[in-house]
Amino acid sequence: QQPVQSPQAVILREGEDAVINCSSSKALYSVHWYRQKHGEAPVFLMILLKGGEQKGHEKISASFNEKKQQSSLYLTASQLSYSGTYFCGTEFMMDSSYKLIFGSGTRLLVRP
Partner 1 sequence: DTGVSQNPRHKITKRGQNVTFRCDPISEHNRLYWYRQTLGQGPEFLTYFQNEAQLEKSRLLSDRFSAERPKGSFSTLEIQRTEQGDSAMYLCASSPQGGYTEAFFGQGTRLTVV
Tell me whether residue 44 or residue 74 sits nearer to partner 1 (CB atom).
44
Number of other CB atoms surrounding residue 95 within 10 Å: 5
Among 49, 60, 61, 109, binds partner 1 (CB under 8 A): 49
Q: How many CB atoms lie within 10 A of CB 11?
A: 12
Q: Does residue 99 touch partner 1 according to CB under 8 A?
A: yes
What is the C-alpha to C-alpha distance for residues 109 and 107, in angstroms, rounded to an integer?
7
For residue 97, state whether it binds partner 1 (rule: CB under 8 A).
Answer: yes
Rounded alpha-carbon distances, angstroms, from residue 46 to 13, 28, 58, 96: 23, 15, 9, 24
Using the minimum distance from each CB to partner 1, give the nearer residue, 16 or 49.
Answer: 49
Residue 40 lies near partner 1 (rule: CB under 8 A): yes
Q: Is 93 in the site for partner 1 (CB under 8 A)?
A: yes
